[in-house]
Amino acid sequence: MNFSVLLSVYIKENPQYLSQALDSIINQSVQASEIIIVKDGPLTKELDEIINQYNKNYQFIRIVALPNNLGLGKALNEGIKHCHYELIARMDTDDISKPNRFEKQLEIFKLHPETDICSAWLEEFEGDFNNILFVKKLPEKHNEIMQYAHYRCPINHAVAMYKKSAVLAVGGYSGFPEDYNLWIKMLMNGAHFYNIQESLYLCRFSKDMIKRRGGWKYAIADIKSQFSFYKMGFLSLATLLYNIIIRITVRLIPNFLRTFIYKKYLRK
C-alpha cells in the first residue's frame, strides 16, 4: 500500500531533532513510498546540511523548497501538491514516530476503506524519550469524534494519516488553527474519522509552549476560529458562546493556572 510522508521544516528548528524525526520515519516496520520535506523558507546551514545528507542517502526523499516562509498550513498545502499517493502521513520535524505507527494506520485503511483520516494517541515527553509526562487521548469512533470536535480538536495532527482527495475536497489547510479548521471542514463534508486507541507517537513537551499559548493574541484567534465554525453550521449558538468563554478564560489566566488546567484536564 503506497503512501507519502509529509513534513515541513523552518529556520528555527533543531537540527538534532530533525535527524531523530527522519530516522523514526525511515526505521518503520512498513517503509514509506516517499518522504516529502517542505523547506518553509530559507533554513540554517546546519538544517540544510542534514536535509541534503538524507536526500543523498535515501532516494525516496524529495525536497520542496519555498523561497519565503509561509507558515505551516500554507507550506503543507504546497507539500500536498507534490505527494504522489492518495494516503499521506503527517509528521512534525521535532517528534518521533513509533516503529509500528504506519503499519497500524495502514491496517485501518485496509480494514475500513471508508476511512478518510486515521490518527492515534500520542505521548508527550520532556528531555529523554522515556520521560513521558502526559498521554493525549482522543475518542475512537466517528460519531464520538464528531461530538468531541464541537468542543476540542478531535485529531492529533502530527500523527494523522489522511486521504489526499478528502483534504483537497475542502480546499486544504486554512484559517487558525490550521489543523482544527481542516478537521471541521472535512467533517462537514462527510469525511469519515477514526482514532487508534494507543499511542503511536512521541511529542516533545515544553513549559514554554503553554506560556506561549496565553494572551490576547491567542484569545482573539480562538474567538475568530469558533465564529468560523459557527458560520459553517457546525456549532450551535449556545456551544459557540460556551467555547468562547472557556477559551478566553484559559488564554488570559496566569500561566501557572493554565499549566495546571493543561495537566489536570487536557491530558491524562
CA 64 to CA 9: how far, in whole Å? 10
CA 23 to CA 81: how far, in whole Å? 24
Residues in the chain: 268
Whether 126 contacts 205, CB under 8 Å: yes
**4-9 and 87-90 strand pairing:** parallel
| Residue in 65, 130, 92 with CA at minimum distance from that of residue 5 | 92
Residues facing 8 on adjacent strands: 38
- The second-level CATH assignment, the architecture, of 4-205 is Alpha-Beta Complex (3.90)
**CATH code 3.90.550.10 region(s) in the chain:** 4-205
pLDDT band, residue 126 (cuts 50/70/90): confident
For residue range 182-196, list pLDDT tens digits in order: 999 999 999 999 999
The pLDDT value recorded for residue 268 is 56
Whether 150 contacts 235, CB under 8 Å: yes
Average pLDDT over residues 191-204: 97
The amino acid occupying position 234 is F
For residue range 100-123, list pLDDT tens digits in order: 999 999 999 999 999 999 999 999
Whether pLDDT at 39 is above 80? yes
CA 36 to CA 261: how far, in whole Å? 36
pLDDT band, residue 176 (cuts 50/70/90): confident
For residue range 84-99, list pLDDT tens digits in order: 999 999 999 999 999 9
C-alpha cell of residue 268: 491524562
CA angle 163, 101, 184 (to 5 degrees): 40
CA 107 to CA 96: how far, in whole Å? 20
The pLDDT value recorded for residue 205 is 83
The pLDDT value recorded for residue 238 is 98
pLDDT band, residue 209 (cuts 50/70/90): low
234 by DSSP, 3-state: which?
coil
CA 5 to CA 97: how far, in whole Å? 11
First to last CA, the chain: 34
**pTM of this prediction exceeds 0.85:** yes
Whether 117 contacts 193, CB under 8 Å: yes
Average pLDDT over residues 4-14: 97
* Cβ-based neighbours of 178, under 8 Å, separated by 6 or more: 71, 72, 73, 76
C-alpha cell of residue 7: 513534513
**Residue scoring higher pLDDT (49 or 216):** 49
